Structure 1
Amino acid sequence: MAAFDAGEGGTGLSKHIRALGISETYDLAGFGEAQTKDLVRDAFTQPIQATEPLRFTFLIGGGKTQNRQKYDSDLGRYLSAALREIGFREDRAATALMECQGSYKSQHDTHKGIRTVQVFPKIDLVEEKGENGAGQGRSLITNPSSPEYMAAVCTFDTFQEMVQEKVCSWNQKRRLLRHLGSFVARYKEAEQKLMKMEGLSDEEQEIYDSIDPDGVEEKTVWLTSLVKAMVENGQLTAAEREQVLSQIQTKLENCSVEQEAATLKENEVKLARIHKQAEQLMKRRSMVNGHAPVSHKVKHQDELRGITAKLIKIEKLENTRGRLLTIDEVKQVGLKEELLERATVLENDSRGWFEEDEELEARLAEVRKQGQRMAAKKAAGGGKGGKSGGGASAGRGRGGGGMAMDSDGWNKVKR
Structure 2
Amino acid sequence: MNGLVLGGTSSGVGKTVATLACIRALSDAGYDVQPAKAGPDFIDPSHHRAVAGRPSRTLDCWLQGEDGIRRNYARSEGDICLVEGVMGLYDGDGSSTAMVAEALDLPVVLVVDASAGMESVAATVLGFREYAATAGRDIDVVGVLAQRAHGGRHEQGIREALPDGIAFLGRIPPRGDLEIPGRHLGLHMGDESPLDDDALAAASEHIDTERIVELARSPPPATESPERPRTDARIAVASDAAFCFAYPATVERLRERANVVTFAPTAGDDLPNCDGVYLPGGYPELHAEALADSSALDSIETRAADGLPVFGECGGLMALGETLTTVDGDSYEMAGVLPAAFEMCERYQALDHVRLRARRKTLTADTDGILRGHEFHYSSADVDSDARFAFDVERGDGIADGTDGLTEYQTLGTYCHVHPANGAFDGFVDSL
> Into which bin does the TM-score normalised by the smaller protein fall?
under 0.3
Larger % of helix: which?
A: 1
TM-score (norm 1): 0.27
User: Over alpha carbons, which structure has the higher Rg?
Assistant: 1
